[in-house]
């Protein structure tokens, strides 16, 4: 991570004067209006010369700086592109961004190496051999549009719009994607949230109702309990969390991490406890036990603001003793007791953080409910230095609404997108999790017909669990007769497409974007091209309007603007200075807004109360009709005699006990516990033989997903993913450091899981790295490795294909690929489809594997 890489003082110290220069070809279209806006706004640091004064080869032009947003991961940090003569020289952080505050990580810095990757796909390609043969013909955009329009028009006119399925990966252009799909009328919009954060989101949504994302106020905190978040290397809020956490640490805040592996985050902690996978929630419950038993709680807050009184919470958690938690997790009871006391003593300036380490388990939903409850117990919710959230998880969409006309949601139904077997997958309004890992299994089983599939920034054939099953489905033209792949790089998924559309990188395209505000003030950002798109690559903001026009049938009416800039001009009208200002600064924050602590405390105004009815039993105020449910609309709750906004749960309080989730379960015949509980993971409970381990996965600081593997800069830093094995375990098995092992994985023997019959999933061969930094029962393998296609850098020299899609496969560094042939294995091929039975989140850390020395 680099911090404060681009600041006003730094520039001033270097003696550079503020400039805002246009490139020779005016390619960024930041014209006189933007320049005027900058001048008018005054201190726009990002409009200054870069410190180095580096000039492009031969051009002699002075670099200009262009603010934009990163998309090397999902955190969307503000960045500044330093450009000269149309070429991006480097990327630094944008200090205007309230989340990342001018910092970028190694992945963010590596953006130019993806932009200029010699193996990028730069032209539309049409398959000429059988699907998967890797034989392609370059076609014009006109031909590509015609083919797509013909296919999609036929499906739509047949009255079966749901047969057109859209599979997205990381999507930061949600507005345009939803507009296109809704205008078309298809609900078959598949995401990958269940492979990411759905269990955690559902746990938070259950508890507070108004957000599915917690934003610990780390910077003001004195004590942070980390349950398996690797915020120092990954996490959806990677840089924003990391900079605040490190500031807090410098001020003396204590950080305690529970994690199965010694991640960089664990290494940065005051204390690290190596836990057995899937026991995080039990540790939290045992701490709750201590806090209740010793009355270290904030009873007054709990009794006022929770829907479950303190005494009843105490009764519930009495079963989760520290001794039981020690037996299951391996963390000594005395440690659990001590840390519970320390955490409560720091309240309200204490908070938890968690993520996939706790949530991506079969019991992940309950783990995260237990962790969230811990905060309610000590009364830190919404407080300075405590466990916070913001009702706007992006920009304020009331202040900046989408320009009309906006199409309605489709009336057609999608069996896969609305999978009913997991009651909480789609239970929370506006927070559709869906169940990504079953998509291709269900297509294979014929549960939903798919006549056309469009994959967008989604390498499902490599990154999904049981990726070999995904590949077999994508290969089968009877199951998917037409597959269009939109991506930057050639991937395992592109390899199984009929048509490949070269996507513009995030450095060549536009977006309106922002992330949950870590400083508790919402903001809006602009992603803008820092250079022109290479080759014939295009963004979906250009592709979709044209495709809609060719499909016709009314779709075109939802794309009335001529260019994306016209659309954004309209979108940003409510921002003072409008679109030109956004182009100049990249970020806008309403200066009237202050950090939003304790939003639930807002008093209902006389106007709000006028005409409202109070339920005297519950204290809830109702006024008007709830459009979604048709019932009365709750607007607040009386607490200690004062009418307040409350939380957006059914009780308007923090729901430690949820009747809502119990009801959602009953609707589909599945039992959901009303309270946070510990459910042991069945396949971990058996007496596993010595050579059977629990396989977990993780990310390291320089890799994210398939795109980062295309970066030669990042691949040079990390290009292998050996299996991490505890030394003591290795000694028992006679395995030495560097030995080759075969890893065989099994589906869980679990009737609640699709295909859960204990059968074998697959075997891969890799090398072992011995360490004390992993639990003795665990085999840890990073899952961002093991590409088979995508060019020489992404595959450690394996992909030598002369692919016509590889626009300019020449690069002076190709001869210097010193890591050629390094071992990089696809862990996703070993992972069974393993959704948590309640929400459907993939249990990434629960796979039982057998290892054998080769
Ligand atoms: S954290 Fe993510 S968005 Fe931020 S700089 Fe790194 S890769 Fe880019």
Judge whether residue 6 has pLDDT over 80.
Answer: no
Q: Are residues 748 and 833 in the same domain?
A: yes
% of the chain at pLDDT higher than 90: 85
The mean per-residue pLDDT over the stretch 489-493 comes to: 94
Residue 317's pLDDT band (cuts 50, 70, 90)? very high
Q: How confident is the model at residue 683 (pLDDT cuts 50, 70, 90)?
A: confident
Residue ranges in 586-687 assigned as alpha helix (H): 606-609, 659-667, 682-685
> Dihedral angle at the C-alpha atoms of 448, 449, 451, 456, nearest 10 degrees?
20
Say yes or no: CB of residue 243 within 6 Å of ligand 1: no
Q: Is a pLDDT exceeding 80 seen at residue 59? A: no
Q: Is 294 in the same domain as 245?
A: yes
The CA 527 to ligand 1 mean position distance, Å, reads 13
How high is the pLDDT of residue 679? 96
- What is the number of the ligand 1 atom nearest to the C-alpha of 100? 4
Quick: pLDDT tens for 135-156: 999 999 999 999 999 999 999 9
- DSSP conformation class of 831: P
Integer Cα distance of 471 and 413 in angstroms: 26
Residue 389 included in any domain = no
CB 684, CB 769: distance < 8 Å: no
Q: Report if residue 383 sits inside a domain.
A: no
Range of lowest pLDDT (9-18, 50-59, 65-74, 375-384): 9-18
Q: Which two tokens stand for residue 306?
A: 């929770």
Count how many domains the chain has: 5
Beta bridge partners of 350: 223
Question: Quick one: which atom of ligand 1 is closest to the CA of 75?
Answer: 3
Confidence at residue 13, expressed as pLDDT on a 0 to 100 scale: 27
What's the rounded mean pLDDT across residues 532-540?
Answer: 97
Cα 105 to ligand 1 centroid, rounded to whole Å: 6
Same domain, 475 and 524: no
CATH assignment at residue 810: 2.40.40.20
Q: Is the pLDDT of residue 702 over 80?
A: yes
* Residue 560 confidence (pLDDT): 96
Mutate to test the pocket of ligand 1, among 2, 97, 99, 108 (most ligand atoms within 8 A of CB): 108
Quick one: CA dihedral 188, 189, 193, 199, positive or negative? Answer: negative
Q: Write out the residue range of the structural domain in which residue 796 sits.
A: 685-853
Model confidence pLDDT, tens digit, residues 577-630: 999 999 999 999 999 999 999 999 999 999 999 999 999 999 999 999 987 778
Q: Is the pLDDT of residue 292 over 60?
A: yes
Within 10 Å of residue 13's Cβ, how many Cβ atoms?
Answer: 10
Cβ(514)–Cβ(525) below 8 Å: yes
Q: How far is the CA of 387 from the centre of ligand 1 (A)?
A: 23
Candidates 4, 100, 707: which one to mutate for ligand 1, based on the most atoms within 8 Å of Cβ? 100
**Contact 80 CB / ligand 1 (< 6 Å):** no
For a mutational test of ligand 1's pocket, the pick from 99, 104, 106, 713, i.e. the residue with the most ligand atoms closer than 8 A to its C-beta, is 104
Contact 104 CB / ligand 1 (< 6 Å): yes
Check if 110 has its Cβ closer than 6 Å to any atom of ligand 1.
Answer: no
Residue 118, domain member (yes or no): no
Judge if 547 and 638 occupy the same domain: no
Ligand 1 contacts CB of residue 801 (under 6 A):
no
Dump pLDDT digits (tens) for 634-657: 999 999 999 999 999 999 999 999
Among 180-189, 236-245, 523-532, 801-810, the least confident range: 801-810
* Ligand 1 pocket check for 109: Cβ under 6 Å: no
Give 104 Cα–ligand 1 centroid separation in angstroms. Answer: 6
793 falls within a domain: yes
Instruction: Give 360 or 63, the one with higher predicted confidence.
Output: 360
Say yes or no: CB of residue 72 within 6 Å of ligand 1: yes
DSSP string for 348-387: TSEEEEE-HHHHSSTTHHHHHHHHHHHHHHHT-BTSTTSB
Residue 432: per-residue pLDDT: 87
Q: What is the pLDDT of residue 60?
A: 55
Q: Two tokens at 273?
A: 């406890």
Note the pLDDT tens digit of each residue in 793-815: 999 999 877 777 676 667 888 88
User: Token pair of 583, please?
Assistant: 């182009």
Task: Tell me, in angstroms, the distance from the centre of ligand 1 to residue 844's CA.
Answer: 23
Calculate mean pLDDT across residues 545-566: 97
Structure tokens at 761: 């999933």
- 650 and 736 housed in the same domain: no
Does residue 407 sit within a domain? no
Residues 740 and 843 in one domain: yes
Mean pLDDT estimate for the chain: 91
How many angstroms is it from 54 CA to the middle of ligand 1?
24
- What local confidence, expressed as pLDDT, does residue 808 receive? 64
Regarding whether 818 and 716 lie in a shared domain, the answer is: yes
pLDDT at 33 exceeding the cut of 50: no
Question: Is the CB of 486 inside a 6 Å radius of any atom of ligand 1?
Answer: no
Residues 726 and 657 in one domain: no
Confidence check: pLDDT of 263 > 90: yes
Query: Measured from the CA of 107, which atom of ligand 1 is nearest?
Result: 7
Residue 11 pLDDT exceeds 80: no
Rounded CA-CA distance 470/385 in Å is 44
Mean pLDDT of 524-544: 97
Which protein residue's CA is at the shortest distance from atom 2 of ligand 1?
A: 73
Q: Are residues 643 and 695 in the same domain?
A: no
Rounded average pLDDT over 274-294? 98
Is 73's C-beta closer than 6 angstroms to any atom of ligand 1?
Answer: yes
In a domain, 25, yes or no: yes
Q: What is the pLDDT of residue 809?
A: 65
* Minimum-distance ligand 1 atom for the alpha carbon of 106: 6
**How far, in Å, CA of 695 to CA of 367, rounded?**
19
Listed range (30-44, 90-104, 539-553) with the worst mean pLDDT: 30-44
Q: Which pLDDT does position 807 carry in this prediction?
A: 65
């Amino acid at each position: 991570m680099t911090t404060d890489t681009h600041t006003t003082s730094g520039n001033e110290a270097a003696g550079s004067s503020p400039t805002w220069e246009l490139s020779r070809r005016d390619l960024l279209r930041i014209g006189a209006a933007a320049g005027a806006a900058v001048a008018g706004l005054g201190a726009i640091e990002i409009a200054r010369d870069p410190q180095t004064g580096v000039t492009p080869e031969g051009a002699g032009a002075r670099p200009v700086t262009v603010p934009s947003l990163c998309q090397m991961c999902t955190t969307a940090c503000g960045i500044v592109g330093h450009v000269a003569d149309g070429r991006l020289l480097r990327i630094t952080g944008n200090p205007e961004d309230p989340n990342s505050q001018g910092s970028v990580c190694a992945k963010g810095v590596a953006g130019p190496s993806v932009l200029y990757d010699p193996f990028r796909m730069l032209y539309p390609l049409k398959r000429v051999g059988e699907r998967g043969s890797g034989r392609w013909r370059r076609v014009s955009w006109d031909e590509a549009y015609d083919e797509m329009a013909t296919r999609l028009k036929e499906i739509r006119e047949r009255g079966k719009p749901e047969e057109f399925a859209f599979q997205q990966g990381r999507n930061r252009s949600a507005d345009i994607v939803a507009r296109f799909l809704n205008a078309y009328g298809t609900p078959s919009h598949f995401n990958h949230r269940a492979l990411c954060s759905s269990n955690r989101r559902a746990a938070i949504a259950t508890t507070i109702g108004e957000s599915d994302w917690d934003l610990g106020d780390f910077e003001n905190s004195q004590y942070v309990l980390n349950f398996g978040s690797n915020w120092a290397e990954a996490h959806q809020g990677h840089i924003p969390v990391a900079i605040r956490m490190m500031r807090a640490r410098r001020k003396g805040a204590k950080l305690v991490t529970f994690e199965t592996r010694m991640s960089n985050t664990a290494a940065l902690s005051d204390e690290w406890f190596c836990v057995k996978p899937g026991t995080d929630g039990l540790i939290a419950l045992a701490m709750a036990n201590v806090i209740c038993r010793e009355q270290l709680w904030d009873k007054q807050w709990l009794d006022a603001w929770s829907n479950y009184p303190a005494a009843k919470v105490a009764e519930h958690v009495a079963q989760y003793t520290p001794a039981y938690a020690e037996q299951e997790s391996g963390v000594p009871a005395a440690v659990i007791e001590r840390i519970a006391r320390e955490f409560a003593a720091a309240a309200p300036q204490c908070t938890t953080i968690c993520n996939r380490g706790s949530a991506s388990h079969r019991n992940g939903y309950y783990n995260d409910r237990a962790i969230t409850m811990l905060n309610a117990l000590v009364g830190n919710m919404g407080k300075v230095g405590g466990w916070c959230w913001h009702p706007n998880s992006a920009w304020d969409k009331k202040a900046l609404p989408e320009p009309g006309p906006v199409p309605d949601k489709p009336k057609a139904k999608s069996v896969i997108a609305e999978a009913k077997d997991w009651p909480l997958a789609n239970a929370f309004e506006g927070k559709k999790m869906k169940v990504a890992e079953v998509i291709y299994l269900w297509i294979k089983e014929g549960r939903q017909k798919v006549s056309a599939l469009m994959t967008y920034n989604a390498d499902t054939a490599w990154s999904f669990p049981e990726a070999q099953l995904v590949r077999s489905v994508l290969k089968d033209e009877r199951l998917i007769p037409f597959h269009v792949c939109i991506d930057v790089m050639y991937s395992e998924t592109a390899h199984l497409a009929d048509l490949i559309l070269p996507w513009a990188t995030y450095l060549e395209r536009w977006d309106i974007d922002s992330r949950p505000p870590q400083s508790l003030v919402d903001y809006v950002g602009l992603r803008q091209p820092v250079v022109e798109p290479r080759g014939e690559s295009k963004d979906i903001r250009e592709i979709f309007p044209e495709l809609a026009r060719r499909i016709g049938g009314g779709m075109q009416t939802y794309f009335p603007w001529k260019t994306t800039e016209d659309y954004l001009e309209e979108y940003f009208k409510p921002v003072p200075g409008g679109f030109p200002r956004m182009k100049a600064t990249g970020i806008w924050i309403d200066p009237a807004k202050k950090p939003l602590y304790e939003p639930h405390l807002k008093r209902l105004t006389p106007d709000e109360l006028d005409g409202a009815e109070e339920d005297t039993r519950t204290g809830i105020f109702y006024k008007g009709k709830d459009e979604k449910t048709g019932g009365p609309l709750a607007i607040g709750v009386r607490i200690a005699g004062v009418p307040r906004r409350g939380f957006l749960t059914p009780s308007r309080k923090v729901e430690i006990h949820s009747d809502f989730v119990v009801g959602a379960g009953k609707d589909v015949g599945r039992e959901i516990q009303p309270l946070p509980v510990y459910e042991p993971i069945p396949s971990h409970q058996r007496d596993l033989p010595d050579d059977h381990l629990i396989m977990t996965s993780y990310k390291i600081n320089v890799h994210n997903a398939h795109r980062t593997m295309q970066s030669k800069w990042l691949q040079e830093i990390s290009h292998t993913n050996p299996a991490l094995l505890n030394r003591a375990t290795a000694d028992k098995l006679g395995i030495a450091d560097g030995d080759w092992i075969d890893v065989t994985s099994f589906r869980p023997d679990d009737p609640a899981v699709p295909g859960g019959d204990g059968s074998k999933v697959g075997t891969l061969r890799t090398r072992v790295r011995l360490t004390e930094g992993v639990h003795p029962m665990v085999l840890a393998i990073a899952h961002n490795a093991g590409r088979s296609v995508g060019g020489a850098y992404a595959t450690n020299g394996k992909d030598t294909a002369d692919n016509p899609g590889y626009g300019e496969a020449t690069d002076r560094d190709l001869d210097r690929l010193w890591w050629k042939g390094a071992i990089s294995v696809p862990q996703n091929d070993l992972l069974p489809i393993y959704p948590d039975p309640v929400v459907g989140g993939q249990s990434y850390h629960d796979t039982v594997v057998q290892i054998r020395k080769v």
